[in-house]
Homo-oligomer: A and B are copies of this chain.
Amino acid sequence: MNIAVVGLGLIGGSVCKALKANTFHHIMGIDTDPETIRKALEQGAIDEAIDESRLSEANLTIVALYPVPTVEFVKKNADKFRKGSIVIDMSGVKGYVVKNCTPVLDEQGVIFIGTHPMAGTENSGFDYATATLFRKASYILTPTESTPQIAIDLVSTLGACMGFGQVVIATPEQHDANIAYTSQLAHVVSNAYVKSPALFRADGFSAGSFLDLTRVAKLNEEMWSSLFLCNKEALLNELNIIINSLGEYRDAMVNDDIDTLREILKTGRERKEKSMEFYGQERK
């Protein structure tokens, strides 16, 4: 089959490389940067470079852009996709994208499925793309009630070819609530952690816990600021929860209340232990 990949950054580039490594499909790349296209061709990550006019040749189009450009691309090119073909996106928020893309493509007889590969690195761009980026990761699909099962099965199977360890089906709203907690909040907290003046005076004191807490502070602010605002309600909910929780530890300390402090810590430990029964099975 012909697969068009739009945006050959870290994700799109890795999609191309994984599909070339593990399938015999014909991969057509679209990117605004000629140098990226040149590298992708040179490395055999794509079979050919195309422009939007040839989207009609694709049985599947994979849009690997940030959420706002994803919606813009789909709206602008809605009439160019092949009737009956599938368009998926790979961005980190699903409510915003699915809500904006589905009706537009539906009108054209094109099937849209929002997807989210739970993988990435702190670096971005084609230079960091690898055929193994998705290995053992979760691949979240957010079909709607009217999505044909066969389209879900095709995307899911391509996910297996790309190396994903499991496919998880969720509603866009479930996805956005969960991702706000497991990924977006982690990036906010980590980024906030390094704001302390203590950062630059604690050389020699850094423990593994500090390194864990601050690893993802090194983030791409263009991407994440956009992702956060596209998932505003869910992330604000989680931010308020952790700010309130931190206030409970603070209050217990201010009051020298060691019993409450110990109890709060114990509750956290027990929740973590319980959660490890399922999270613990996943790759790190």
Contact = CB atoms under 8 A, between A and B. Distances in A.
A222 B117 CA distance: 40
A163 to B, nearest CB: 16
Contact of A210 (B140, B182, B205, B263): B182
A243 B246 contact: yes
Interface in A205-264: 205-222, 224-226, 228-229, 232, 235-236, 238-243, 245-250, 253-254, 256, 258, 261-264
A186 interface: yes
A271 B140 contact: no
A268 B216 contact: no
Nearest to A268: B191
A77 interface: no
Contacts of A221: 262-263, 265-266, 269
A213 B210 contact: no
Interface in A10-47: none
Contacts of A186: 193, 207, 209-210, 212-213
Contacts of A242: 189, 192-193, 195-196, 246
Contact of A268 (B192, B210, B261): B192
23 contacts: A118-B206, A138-B206, A168-B205, A177-B198, A179-B205, A180-B198, A182-B205, A191-B249, A192-B245, A192-B249, A192-B268, A196-B241, A197-B241, A218-B272, A218-B273, A221-B262, A221-B265, A221-B266, A225-B262, A229-B261, A232-B256, A243-B243, A243-B246
